[in-house]
Chains A and B, each alone.
Chain A
Amino acid sequence: MSRPYQDSGVGAQRFWRVLIYTTLLVFALFYLLPLFVMLVTSFKSLDEIRQGNMMALPEVWTLEPWFKAWGSACIGLTCDGIHTYFWNTIKMVVPAVLIATLLGALNGYVLTKWRFRGHRWVFGLMLFGCFIPFQIVLIPMSQVLGNLGIAGTTTGLVLVHVTYGIGFSTLFFRNYYEAFPTELVKAAMIDGAGFFGIFWRILLPSSGPIIVVTVIWLFTNIWNDFLFGASFNAGEGAPMMVALNNLVNSSTGVKEYNVDMAAAMIAALPTLLVYIVAGRYFVRGLMAGSVKG
């Protein structure tokens, strides 16, 4: 964007610049405040919270709430903290992300480099799966999982997330491979490479960026999921967000806000870290997943 030329005098220019920066900073505060409050509260003692100001820094910093959240807070009937649920989620997310990514890559590959009649329909039908409200599949899915004997298990949840994740991963890879020069594939074919050969040796090595985008997208969405977790694995093996919600919304006993906040921070840390480290790819995923098919 080229700037509007200095026609209204330096004074007016400066006024607008100050206004713009102020507005932007005010909004930056708006976005940061809840996180700040969450952090700050998680380091305070309950007394301090009750007497003090939510936005004030702790007078006495304490890690007690964090330890409690991790190891001894009561969720439902057990008072074991959230650490089991944290590891549960990892055990669930990692396979789900890996499988969904791999399948998405293969699907994208087939849809772009091995076109067949009706490929657009196939893609469209798979794409639509990304947009459905997941409430629509809760009833039949719980039945199917029950029949397969994997209701309330991590395996069941992995299956669910893979099923509803391949729509997105296929979308990402398909768009990426669409732009990949088909001449390279043809050259490889002439050189004698077969279906899988081309995939492993030609496409996959060049897929770095999109793999990162897909993995981040899937990881974030699956880690942050609540609905599927609450519907299909709400018990002992529940994922992080279900546990967090149970902890925070438990109506028994004294509300320990600091523990709640610490637990929320722990739950948020993985995806936040991913965002901080690879934010660029996160944004790419957001844009790719939303703007077009």
Chain B
Amino acid sequence: MRDDTSGFLGWCRRSLPKIVLAPSFVVTICFVYGFIIYTGYISTTASKMLPNSKFIGLTNYEKLWRTLNWQVALDNLAIFGILYISICGLLGLGLAILLDQKIRGEGFLRPIYLYPMALSFIVTGTAWKWFLNPGLGLEKTMHEWGWSSFKFDWLVNSEMAIYTVVIAGVWQTSGFVMAMFLAGLRGVDNEQVKAAQLDGASSYQTYKRVIIPQLTPVFLSAFVVLSHMAIKAYDLVVALTGGGPGNATEVPATFMYSYTFTRNQMGVGAASAMIMLMTIAAIIVPYLYAETRGKRHE
């Protein structure tokens, strides 16, 4: 550093890096952590349409858990989450393995699998809403092509609607999971594959015993990213089903929005947001901690 580091000016110069970083840091502290605390505070008050400072402890949470809509939202999140994560994972891994077989035209196929990631969930929802339109979409197409008994009214079927969200979600994100696994596969030392060949292992055995066990970090990353997206899923549901039919595809994110802004139950809405946060934190925080621990660069 320069030699004129004395006095106030010197202090300024030395602290310049921190001063530059400070606005972003302060903004993060206030607008992320401060807001979290505020929302947490609201969740313990009797806020309805507007914030109310009357402290009511965990009443909102109790109310939340007794609300049918919330139960539905949680059920849907479980169904959606489990299916979304596992199908994306399996599909992504499968496609990556296939693409890794020295395929001609890989440079052509990969972008096709990935492009849905560039789209907004609103666009995806809109497209699939049309595609699965009972009466004019897939169902009609199948009828036209000769399969007259084909029925696909999932979109308006209370039981099945959540599965359309799964389909659209998988369509959007599986390409990304495939890219992650492909990168992981390519990171495996090729000499190990040769050694396995020499050892007499078939392709299947090589994948099962040598290659896939090394992909654990990728499975973990994929799980973290996918579960994060599943919990946050809002845009997709809004565009695809609007939460319906009725409340059949209600998820915590849509619940929070409607209870806070349209149903004037701000306290309960805040409580639901806190629950969402805690669920994500339970997954992300250990993951981040383990990752930054391992990265000791000094």
Residues of A bordering B, CB below 8 Å: 1-5, 20-21, 23-24, 27-28, 30-35, 37-38, 41, 49-50, 53-55, 103, 106-107, 110-111, 114, 116, 120, 122-129, 131-141, 143, 163-164, 166-167, 170, 178, 189, 194-195, 220, 223-227, 231, 241, 244-245, 248-249, 257, 260-261, 264, 267-268, 271-272, 274-276, 279, 282-283, 286-287, 290-293
Contact = CB atoms under 8 A, between A and B. Distances in A.
8 contacts: A1-B193, A54-B136, A133-B253, A140-B39, A167-B28, A249-B242, A267-B122, A276-B111
B119 A268 contact: yes
Contacts of B124: 34
A4 B121 contact: no
A163 B180 CA distance: 28
Contacts of B62: none
Q: Taking each of B31, B277, B292, which has the highest tally of chain A beta carbons within 10 Å of its own beta carbon?
A: B31
Contacts of A286: 117, 176, 179
Contact of B33 (A122, A125, A178, A257): A125
Interface of B: 1-2, 13, 16-18, 20-21, 23-25, 27-29, 31-36, 38-39, 42, 51, 95, 98-103, 109, 111-124, 126-131, 133, 136-138, 140-141, 144-145, 171, 175-176, 179-180, 183, 185-186, 188, 190, 193-194, 197, 202-203, 206, 221, 224-225, 228, 231-232, 234-235, 238-239, 242, 253, 256-257, 260-261, 266, 269-270, 272-274, 276-277, 280, 284-285, 288, 291-292, 295, 297
Nearest to B257: A135
Given A133-B273, A135-B257, 18 more contacts: A21-B103, A24-B98, A30-B171, A34-B171, A110-B20, A122-B25, A125-B32, A131-B284, A131-B288, A134-B232, A135-B234, A140-B42, A141-B35, A223-B120, A226-B235, A244-B123, A249-B238, A268-B118
B118 A282 contact: yes
A127 B288 contact: yes
Contact of A126 (B24, B130, B231): B24
Nearest to A244: B122
B120 A163 contact: no
Interface of A is mostly: helix
Contact of B239 (A132, A189, A194, A245): A245
B277 A128 contact: no
Contacts of A127: 288
B118 A54 contact: no
Contacts of B129: 248
B113 A107 contact: no
A210 to B, nearest CB: 17
B129 to A, nearest CB: 8
Contacts of A3: 101-102
A66 B155 CA distance: 26
B131 A268 contact: no
A189 B1 contact: yes
Contacts of A1: 100-102, 185-186, 188, 190, 193
Given A27-B113, A141-B35, A167-B28, A133 B232 contact: yes
Nearest to B18: A116
Contacts of A139: 38-39, 42, 51, 260, 266, 269-270, 273
Contact of A5 (B23, B121, B197, B228): B197
Given A268-B123, A290-B180, A195 B16 contact: yes
A71 to B, nearest CB: 19
Nearest to B222: A290
B190 A2 contact: yes
Contacts of B131: 33-34, 37, 54
A166 B128 CA distance: 32
A139 B45 CA distance: 13
A31 B109 CA distance: 10
A141 B32 CA distance: 10
Contacts of A32: 112
Q: Taking each of B13, B29, B136, B186, which has the highest tally of chain A beta carbons within 10 Å of its own beta carbon?
A: B136
B141 A140 contact: no
Given A107-B21, A128-B284, A226-B122, A133 B231 contact: yes
B268 to A, nearest CB: 12
A137 B179 CA distance: 31
